[in-house]
Amino acid sequence: MKKFLMFILAGVLGIVALASIGNIIGLAVSVAIAYFSLKQFLKSDSFGGKLLWAIIGVIAVGATFSNLPAIAGILALYFLYVGYKNWKKEEKPTQSSKDPFTSFDQQWNDIKGKF
Q: What type of residue is 9?
A: L
pLDDT the model gives residue 5: 87
What's the chain's Rg over C-alpha atoms? 26
Q: In degrees, to the nearest 5, what angle opens at C-alpha 66 toward C-alphas 43 and 35?
A: 15
pLDDT digits (tens, 9 = 90+) for 17-60: 999 999 999 999 999 999 999 999 999 999 999 999 999 999 99
pTM value surpassing 0.85: no
How far is it, in rounded angstroms, from Cα 25 to Cα 56? 19
Whether the predicted pLDDT of 96 surpasses 60: no
